[in-house]
Amino acid sequence: MMKALHTVLPAADLDRARTFYHDKLGLDPDETREGSLVFHPAPGAEFEIYETPNAGTAQNTQMGWMTDDLDGEMAVMRSHGIVFEEYDTPDMKTVNGVLEGKDLRAAWFRDSEGNFLCVSQRI
């Protein structure tokens, strides 16, 4: 039986990824393994970044966080140099980096390795 969720993200350069997550998101790994970093950003939450030449090839959301204050989170993240993606397609349109849905607001950004990350707020 599955019991825990463990997100895994690729990185072409593990040191660059460590610096990004520390400097931009204020996150430091709790564990360092051969070729990977493991983070526990909140109780019950875990993600790992592992070194691979395949990093940055996915074109979809790979990990997301929930927040109660999307605008506040985005302001802090922007002050640390995070740039949010802008989309204008038939399926989705962002304004100032934010997609407004019926019951969710969301914003996407890329980490140093090209992974698509999302921060969302239920409304």
pTM for the whole thing? 0.93
Residue 43: per-residue pLDDT: 87
Is pLDDT at 75 greater than 90 in this prediction? yes
Residues 6+ apart with CB under 8 A from 116: 58, 59, 60, 61, 62, 85, 108, 109, 110
pLDDT digits (tens, 9 = 90+) for 110-123: 999 999 999 999 99
What value does the mean pLDDT take over residues 17-23? 98
Question: 69 pLDDT exceeds 90?
Answer: yes
Residue 120 in contact with residue 65, Cβ under 8 Å? yes
